[in-house]
Amino acid sequence: MQRTTHAAIIIFERKPVQMNHSVFSRKFLVGKLTLLVVLYGLVFTSCEVIVDFGLKDATFELQDARIPDQFEGSVLFLLFPGYQANDPDYRYIIHFYDGDRCTGTYYAADTVNYEVEGTWSLPQHDLLRIDLDQYVNGDFLMTKLEKDLFFLTSDENYINIIQPDTIPLNMYIKRYH
């Protein structure tokens, strides 16, 4: 019996096993967690425009286009023959395809009147670079106004039909369902 008691005392007198604190310390775990949060941010914020703005393989209607401080009113009346505001038979549709291709189509009296093909890219998460036709060619800052409505603005939109050949341009586009 003494032997058993003695063994029990030895077990209880033993010090707990020391863990390697450099591996399991709070500082180490906080560092790992911080690294994961940073990696998560880098991976998912680079996709922000595709997710939030939904440009990839999407269709938008050009609601309005204006040249700030140079022309009063919508320039859609100047650009598209017979254009009538708020009439669904008269609309300019922009389709952003997967990759860098986009198209613009003007429907007049529900008939295709004008069609062009261009390119687009996203150099920054809120900057749309678009070269669609002789009227729209520049870097546009994108702002989401509502669920499906976006404001695009550029201080230097290149157009090759008037002088000077760069003008500011503001556009409103709405997701087309």
Range 53-71 average pLDDT? 86
pLDDT score recorded for residue 120: 94
Per-residue pLDDT tens digits for 107-152: 999 899 999 999 999 999 899 999 998 889 999 999 999 999 999 9
Q: From CA 18, how far away is CA 2, in angstroms rounded?
A: 30
What pLDDT does 138 receive? 94
The residue segments making up the domain with residue 112 are: 50-175
Q: Do 68 and 38 have their domain in common?
A: no
Residue 48 is predicted with a pLDDT of 39
Q: What is the DSSP letter of 10?
A: H
pLDDT at 20 over 50: yes
Furthest CA-CA distance within the chain:
109
Contact 104, 94 (CB under 8 A): yes
**45-54, 67-76, 144-153: segment of lowest average pLDDT:** 45-54
Q: Are residues 39 and 76 in the same domain?
A: no
pLDDT band at 26 (very low <50, low <70, confident <90, very high): low
Number of domains in the chain: 2
Residue 69 and residue 39 in one domain: no
Same domain, 125 and 81: yes
Average pLDDT, the chain: 77
pLDDT value of residue 66: 93
Question: Could you give the angle at the alpha carbon of 164 between the alpha carbons of 162 and 166, nearest 5°?
Answer: 95
In this structure, the number of other CB atoms found within 10 A of the CB of residue 8 comes to 10
pLDDT of residue 72: 82
33 lies in the same domain as 9: yes
Choose between 152 and 72: higher pLDDT. 152
| pLDDT tens sequence across 74-87 | 989 888 888 998 89
Residue bearing tokens 């967690």: 33
We report the CATH number of the domain holding residue 63 as: 2.40.128.20
* Whether residue 112 is found in the same domain as residue 93: yes
